[in-house]
Amino acid sequence: MIKRNKFYVIGLMSGTSCDGLSIAYCEVSFKPKNLKVLKFENYSYSKSFQINIMKAREFKTSDIINLSFKLGNIWADMVYNFIKKFKIKRIDLISSHGQTIYHDSTKKVTFQIGEVEFITRKFNVPVAYDFRIGDIVFGGEGAPLIPFFDEFLFGDNDKIMCLLNIGGISNITITGGGIKTFGFDTGPGNSLMDWAVRIYTKDRESYDKNGFLASKGVINYSKIERFMKNPFFHKKPPKSLDREEFGIEFIKKSFDFKKEKIEDILATLNYFTALCVKYSVDKFVKAEISEVVVSGGGSFNNTLMNNLQKLFKDIPVNSILKYNIHPLAKEAAGFALLGACRVAGIPSNCPNVTGAKKRVVLGKLSLP
């Protein structure tokens, strides 16, 4: 445990979309409480490697280990290029979420890969990692973890805010206004739309840029009504979601790509994704929220943002850019914060979010 008020941390995030590594160089201050994203970059994986990661849960043990080692090496190279590009001199810590290849909230089991020793040894710097398990040990689901970041930055606000992150999965944090911070996964984020584009284009494209195709389609409300009967949406929080619960099999079962237009499929999935968020807020959030602040790749999907604003009506829906944080930097910055908390010995889970019995210090340390 290091007694210090300020840390300079590189946070790494490879999310459920499996499309690349987000790297954020952050100044984390505990007194006064503040976090600044000083530098940020997103490094893309090749399409074939992305597909490889997405299918990793089907691999045999040896292939999972090989992928874990390959990711560790690739990330080390990406961090090297990041440090070189921005001429970063001071690094107290590197903090990696890892790549989730399996998460079962019911059984409370989770598994992230990406061997951090390659990073530790390359830069001779401590690396914090494997943050979910500490929460699970004390009865939590180990996810979502970003609500701690939301509480850290927005918890002292006078008004109650809804922080919505749309990656492969969508999750919300409700904080501020003197309430106890809570949150949960609301359902699919970009995952279903991305799978639909991949199937339609035979992996030539991986997403619907700006929601352009979805904006041209017709929404199938009867299908959405059927989708919303999924037990996940009616389960009380705490709850977290594995990407595969709304994955490729769900898409194949729900749509006929030979008969249905891709524009209509995407319009339906886009609205469904937005509706999952609104339904979750209406059903499980009793507090009156003043604003929805959106981060993650979904914040760049204009059709999705428009659908959210229509559903939330008079409550403003804004990108987190409004608060000088790049939408793709938030999760990497979140793990920079969790890493700083690990070395400072500060508890960093939110029991109201995960269901853990108490607040605990999360993460393991790989020391040089």
Q: Is residue 352 part of a domain?
A: yes
In a shared domain, residues 46 and 174: no
Q: Which residues contact 295 (CB under 8 A, 6 or more apart)?
A: 163, 164, 165, 166, 319, 320, 325, 327, 328, 330, 331
Q: Is residue 122 part of a domain?
A: yes
Q: Is residue 338 part of a domain?
A: yes
Helix (H) or strand (E) holding 182: strand 182-188
- Do you find a cis peptide bond into 32, omega within 30 degrees of 0? yes
In a shared domain, residues 17 and 45: yes
The tally of domains found in the chain comes to: 2
Give the domain CATH number at 94: 3.30.420.40
In a shared domain, residues 169 and 125: no
In a shared domain, residues 354 and 217: no
In a shared domain, residues 166 and 268: yes
State the residue range of the domain holding 52.
6-146+328-366
CA distances, 173 to each of 24, 100, 150, 308 (Å): 21, 21, 7, 16
Q: Is residue 1 part of a domain?
A: no
In a shared domain, residues 54 and 185: no
pLDDT score recorded for residue 54: 87
pLDDT score recorded for residue 41: 97
Read off the DSSP letter of residue 367: -
The pLDDT tens digits along the chain (368 residues) read: 777 889 999 999 998 778 899 999 999 999 999 999 999 999 999 989 988 998 998 999 999 999 999 999 999 999 999 999 999 999 999 999 999 999 988 899 999 999 999 999 999 999 999 999 999 999 999 999 999 999 999 999 999 999 999 988 999 999 999 999 999 999 999 999 999 999 999 989 989 999 999 999 999 999 999 999 999 999 999 898 877 788 899 999 999 999 999 999 999 999 999 999 999 999 999 999 999 999 999 999 999 999 999 999 999 999 999 998 999 999 999 999 999 999 999 999 999 999 999 999 999 999 99
Task: Mark 223-260 as b/e (b = at least 16 C-beta within 10 Å).
Answer: beeebeeeebbeeebbbbbbbbbbbbebbeebbeeeeb
In a shared domain, residues 16 and 109: yes
Q: What angle do CA 52, 55, 58 make, to 5 degrees?
A: 125
In a shared domain, residues 129 and 181: no
pLDDT score recorded for residue 367: 97
Q: Is residue 350 part of a domain?
A: yes
In a shared domain, residues 136 and 23: yes
In a shared domain, residues 101 and 178: no
- For residues 20 and 14, the answer to whether their CB atoms sit within 8 Å is yes
Q: Is residue 17 part of a domain?
A: yes
Helix boundaries (H) for the chain: 47-54, 61-86, 117-123, 132-137, 147-154, 191-201, 212-215, 221-227, 231-234, 248-254, 262-284, 302-312, 330-344, 351-354
In a shared domain, residues 237 and 350: no
Q: Which residues contact 362 (CB under 8 A, 6 or more apart)?
A: 131, 132, 134, 135, 145, 338, 341, 342, 347, 348, 349
Going by C-alpha positions, the residue among 97, 163, 153, 155 that lies closest to residue 130 is 97
Q: Is residue 14 part of a domain?
A: yes
Report DSSP letters for 285-316, one per residue.
Answer: --S--SEEEEESGGGG-HHHHHHHHHHHTTS-
Q: Is residue 151 part of a domain?
A: no
Phi, psi values for residue 38, rounded to 5°: -85, -40
In a shared domain, residues 289 and 346: no
